[in-house]
Every structure is written in structure tokens, then in C-alpha cells.
Structure 1
Amino acid sequence: MEVKVEQSSAKKLMKALDLLALPRQKRKRLLYRVAASIRQESKRNITQQKTPAGRPWAPRKRGKGKMLRGLKHLVVVSNESDENRAIVAFARGNYHRSHGGVVARVHNDGHKRKVDKRSRLHIRRSKSAGCSRKEAKMLKAFGFKVHASRMNPKAAKGKMRVPTVKWMVQNLSAKEVQYAFHALRKSGQLGTSKNSWEIKLPAREFLGASEARFRKAWERAFQGINYGWKVKAQHMKRRK
């Protein structure tokens, strides 16, 4: 997965490279140095939870923990880089069961996803086979009842009781919870829910560098090729 980083000064600098007519290996080393700097800047942006321009990321909807912390370990300078281009990419490896490049693109650019009731129900059921504590509290508030004999075998036949939250979490099945809420909506006690809705993930840009840091990376790269510019094989290998 390749995620390109566009910088307004890149084209001017590439023209400068043409004018300089650098030898192949020297140009290759120069581009690698710049890409390595952009890689470090991108990792720093994740650490600081800021965009390349220095603006804080959109906060979490819930919680205050740092985001994408493990993703910075997958940012690499691709071994597909050559004397004409250098690519900042993502190494093969899972990040929350997805390719790092896919996660990077979604978070860097932002993402919208439409979810319907059925798919959401499948996600919830896969995480919890029964009744969640939140659902149990709601059912208790609406006076949901079960046969008393389910809680006490000695209870009178046909008697109904409102169970405790703890009992519902431990004993109600997913189908019973689904049926209970369906009955509440049908009776008008609970408002009807949407059949589908949109989940919006805000853009949390981290790939790239500010214009000032980008220029600095080129300046350092030009300084660097004045010595030790011969590219060795280990320099171009993808870091693990």
C-alpha cells in the first residue's frame, strides 16, 4: 500500500535536480535521505498527535488515549525507491487486523462508512453473545419481566418478575434481547431506530512535513551527498 505525500515545493526541487544533472547513485542517495527525513517527520507527527502543519488532531469521540501509536513502527522508506523517486510507504504487517497502509489512508484522509442495522447487530453479537449491561439497565427501566421460575425454581407457576441487571447480563440470550427491544418499539415505549446511518472518521493527517521542515530535509540531503553518497544495498532495504 503506497500513500503519496504531495508538497508544493517538490516539483521545483525536482527541476533543480534535472539542472544539477547529478550522477545516478548520488541522486538516488539524495532522494533516499529526503524520504528518510519525511519518514521521521511522519513518525514524530504520530507521537505528538499533530498534523504536519502542527495542528492537533481531532479528539477521540470517547476516551483520551493516544491514537495510532503502533502505526509509526510500520512507516518505512520503500525498497522500490530508485534514482528518480523515493517512496514513504508501510511495511507488511497487521495493525488491528488490517494492513498498516489501509489504516494509514483511512486515518490520514478521513473516512465515511454507511452502516445498516443488520450489520451493526452482527458486530455487536460477535462481541457479546448475550445481554450487555447497558441493555439490561434499559430493560429494567422499562419494567421488562421474565418468568419468576427462571430465577427461583420454587416460585409460583406463571408469576412474572423484573430481574436484576446482573441476572439479565448472565442469563438473557441475544435473541431474547432483540425480541424485548422489538416489543418495546412496537408498543411505542421506545422510539423507532434508524435502519442505517453514517459513521464519519475525521482526518488525522500525519504523513509528510511542514514546508519549512520539508525544505530543511532537502538542505540536509544536499549537504549529506557531499560525503558518503555511494548507496549501499543495506541502505535501500526495507526496515522491519
Structure 2
Amino acid sequence: MARNNFDLDIRGLADAEQLVALLELPPKLRRRLLNNVSKRVRSISRKRVSTQQNLDGTPFAPRKASSKGKKKMESGLGKLLDVTRLSANEAELGWRNALTRWVASQQHNGVSERRTAAQMRQWNRVPVGLAATEKQAKRLRRLGFKTRQAGKKTLTRPSVAWIKEHVNYAKAGLLIRILDDEQSESSGAQSWEITLPKRQFLGPGTESETSALVNLVLQQILNSPR
């Protein structure tokens, strides 16, 4: 399922007997149930990041040969994973920041699209707080990022300050991947095929595994002191 968050509606995951018990719970305890389940799913998802495995148990697609990164993939997304919405009947596990949700969606669902050199030059000034970080800007300069700046006829390597002012955080990350993967190819390339493989770690697993988790926590709630 294409997603960048994990939505949980407990009413469809309990068997008949347990559903009756669930519906008899006061809202406060149903909310506790969902909160506990969501946090368990968060722990399971973070464990997948630690073991670098997808929902189906297969290993994450490896980095490109040209990438020198040694940090575990998706580790930042795993740390920021949180319960973002909670009620007596539904819960949502995901990311509070919109840009982080976008990055998570790109990673979870995979990306395959073509970008041209002309498109890469068409960056608009971005709002304060959404711009590329200084670390990203310096990395882009090292990778040879060039653009056509106002008043100049040829492509030039922009300053760190210019990149932070005109390139947003998400696009900077995508550009770094493009340039990092394309460094070994012709510097005169006018278009690039961007491919990010799926790396799916969010969720407890199959629907039956989700149901089993909900029912396990439900029994703990039913057997615990009120």
C-alpha cells in the first residue's frame, strides 16, 4: 500500500468476541489501547531500520556504488517516527514535519522520474525554515552543482548562501542523490533518470500480524487494573 504514515482503525482488526469487549471499553481505555499499539509498531519499524529490512523481510536495496555513506539508511526517519494523531477509535503513526513526510513517502514508495538540466536551473526562492541546510549546500558545491544565476550567461557554481536561499531542503536532498549517482558519467549530460528504490519499514507487517498485535494489547488492557 502506498503510504507515508501508518493508519490504524481497531474496529476492523478484532474478532467478534474481542470486538464486543473492545466496544465495551470506555474511550479512555480505547485511546490507551491505540497508543500502546502505535508505539509497538513504532518499535517494530525502528527495528527494521536497524536490521535494514523491508516489511516482507527482504533487505533494503543497497546504495549506489558511487555513494560513500556508511550510516544506516532511513535511520533519521526512524528516529523521528511518532504518533501524530490519536482518538478513541483511530491512531496515526508517521511524521509531524511536512518535509519529513515527503521524504518518507519518496523512500517508502520509491521514485522513478526524469529531470532535465533546464528543470534543475529553475529553482525559486524558498521560505525561511524550508531552505537547504549549510551541510547540503556545501555537499552540492563539492558535487559540482551549477545553475544559471540572474545576470549571468553561463552556468556557474553558486555560493553556499545562494543555495540556501534558492533551493529547498527536499530538492537539495534529491539533487545530491542525482549528482552523486551521475558523477562518473559525462559532465555534459542534459537529463538524468532519478530512481530511488522502495525501502519499506513502516508498519507491523501483514494485516493478520496487525490484528494479532491489536488483540494482544487488547487482552493486556482487559486484564490490567482499571
- TM-score, length-scaled by structure 1: 0.56
Cα 1:53–1:192 shift into 2, 3 Å: closer
Q: Distance in 1 between matches of 2:109 and 2:99?
A: 16
Amino acid at match of 2:216: R
Q: Secondary structure at the match of 1:86?
A: strand
Q: State the 4+ residue runs in structure 1 displaced beyond 6 angstroms.
A: none
Please, which of 39, 42, 48 is the counterpart of residue 39 of structure 1? 42
Q: Which residue of 1 aligns with 2:58?
A: 55
- Name the CA shift for 1:76/1:228 in 2 (closer, same or farther; >3 Å): farther
Say if 2:192 is the partner of 1:227.
Answer: no
Distance 1:5 1:47 in 2: 19
| Of 173, 192, 195, the match for 1:200 | 195
Matches of 2:20 and 2:54, distance apart in 1: 33
Q: For residues 14 and 203 of structure 1, do their structure 2 counterparts lie closer, same or farther at Cα, with a shift above 3 Å needed? A: farther
1:114/1:199 contact within 8 Å kept: yes
* CA deviation after TM superposition for structure 1 residue 128, in Å: 3.3
Amino acid at match of 2:196: L
Measure the CA separation in 1 of the matches of 2:53 and 2:99: 22
What root-mean-square deviation, in Å, do the aligned CA atoms of Structure 1 and Structure 2 show? 3.8
Kindly state the Cα deviation for residue 175 of structure 1 after the two structures are TM-superposed: 5.0
Name the CA distance, whole Å, in 2 between partners of 1:5 and 1:14: 21
Which amino acid counterpart does residue 80 of structure 2 have in structure 1?
A: L
Q: Is the 8 A contact 1:57 1:204 kept in 2?
A: yes
Corresponding position of 2:89: 84
Counting only pairs closer than 5 Å after superposition, residues 134-145 of structure 1 correspond to structure 2 as: none
User: Across the two proteins, how many residue pairs are aligned to each other?
Assistant: 166
- Which of 1 and 2 has greater Rg? 1
SS in structure 1 at match of 2:49: helix
Q: Residues 14 and 112 (structure 1 numbering): CA distance in 2 closer, same or farther, change over 3 Å?
A: farther
- CA distance 1:208–1:176, shift in 2 (3 Å): closer
Counterpart of 2:81?
A: 75
**Inter-partner Cα distance in structure 1 for 2:58 and 2:37:** 23
User: Structure 1 CA distance, aligned partners of 2:17 and 2:118?
Assistant: 56
Alpha-carbon deviations, 1:65-92, whole Å to 9, x = none? 22121221110112x3101101102133
Displacement of 1:220 in angstroms is 3.1
Q: Secondary structure at the match of 1:50?
A: coil
- CA, structure 1 residues 220+176, in 2 after alignment: closer, same or farther (shift >3 Å)? closer
1:30 to 2:33 alignment: yes
Distance 2:99 2:15 in 1: 31
Q: What is the percent sequence identity of the aligned residues? A: 23
1:3 corresponds to = 4
- Partner residue of 1:99? 99
Distance 1:12 1:176, change over 3 A: closer
SS at match of 1:35: helix
Contact 1:3 1:88 in 2 (8 A): no
TM-score (norm 2): 0.59
Shift of 1:215: 4.3
Equivalent residue, structure 1, for 2:112: 112
How far residue 111 of structure 1 moved from its aligned partner, in angstroms, is 1.4
- Asked whether the equivalents of residues 76 and 89 of structure 1 are also in contact (C-alpha less than 8 Å), the reply is yes
Whole-angstrom CA distance in 2 between matches of 1:10 and 1:55: 30
Give the whole-Å Cα distance in 1 for the aligned partners of 2:196 and 2:35.
32
Q: 1:214 aligns to what SS in structure 2?
A: helix
